Amino acid sequence: MNLRELTGRVLDEVERAVVGKREALELVLLGLLADGHVLLDDFPGLAKTLIARSFAQVTSLRFARVQFTPDLMPSDVTGSSIYNQRLGDFEFRPGPVFTNLLLGDEINRSPPKTQAALLEAMQERQVTIDGVTRRLERPFLVVATQNPIEYEGTYPLPEAQLDRFLLRLSVGYPSPEAEWRMLERRLERTSDEVELAPVATPADLLAMQRAIEDVHVASSVGRYMVELVGATRASPRVQVGASPRGTLALLKVSRAKAALAGRDFVTPEDVKAVAVPALAHRLILRPELWVRRVRTEDVVAELLEQVPTPPPEAEPAPVRPGHPLGVPGTPPAP
């Protein structure tokens, strides 16, 4: 089974639980394929937790959930050494971070010290406790949620941690038709819980992540990514633009987007499709724009209109037998 077919089955199964949100689900899946972390920033009751749990079920990933609260300690996330009276020595009790898919629910409700407990795990895929470094089993992915309307008693994520998230996205309210389909399915199954079938394994996910590395990026498309990120730094509306980590994020997600579309080469349209969720959370606007309620998403969208799009390249080569993506071959260099 090729990557496009397998990812289609994963999305179809998750959509049995999360109705009418295919675009948001695709973005979360792009984060998983690109081996990155995803921040879901939206109102309560919009299936943010359900999305994370559903992807874990469908891909057979070990799942752990941490409810971030003001009294949560870093050791509650990473684990700690506990004295064992029977053995007369300290033994390590791993925390919920030792899993495959970690849901950090309402991550902005814990103080920065606890939020920072995830930094090493997210960036290095390891945890250092009492001077001992322990590797996290791959795949290791963090899906975090936060509520954009309740700021009392919360601690906004610092820019250094926001930058660790590959994507930030909103789910949004369903359409009336999708909301009715949700009610219909609830009436049919006579239960709140949705039983999802596993259609992939952790090994499949790792194989798909490796296959993304075979997606070709032409120099013109790569330079387009660089120019787009550079435009965020030069914009008069932006105080701090996207860092080189943002450029790398744009590269990774664009390759995953191309593979999901059944191609093994990236087009400028792939870059445009993922630029807002990949870059907007990495920008800091000038203070006077906050009063006007200008959003970083709006700034990135405007820059997409301003930065020239590179011309299309030559037609792709014929399909290569046995290609890991199961998609057409890489287009020749111009």
Q: Tokens standing for 324? A: 């890991």
Round to whole Å and give the CA distance between 91 and 303.
53
pLDDT of 264? 87
pLDDT of 193? 87
Positions of the chain with pLDDT under 70: 1, 150-153, 313-334
SS3 of residue 128 by DSSP: strand
Segment 259-316, tens digit of pLDDT = 999 998 999 999 999 999 999 999 998 888 777 778 999 999 999 999 999 987 654 5
With the CA atoms of 230, 160, 93 and 64 taken in that order, what torsion angle do they form, in degrees rounded to the nearest 10?
A: -60
By C-alpha distance, which of 105, 198, 100, 110 is closest to 157? Answer: 110
pLDDT of 151? 65
Chain Cα centroid distance, residue 15 = 17
Dihedral sign for Cα atoms in the order 125, 129, 132, 134: negative
pLDDT of 281? 94
Round to whole Å and give the CA distance between 249 and 254.
8
Round to whole Å and give the CA distance between 198 and 221.
36
pLDDT of 40? 95
Chain Cα centroid distance, residue 137 = 18
Round to whole Å and give the CA distance between 57 and 63.
8
pLDDT of 313? 66
Q: For the whole model, what pTM was predicted?
A: 0.89
- Could you tell me if 232 and 299 are in contact, meaning their C-beta atoms sit under 8 angstroms apart? yes
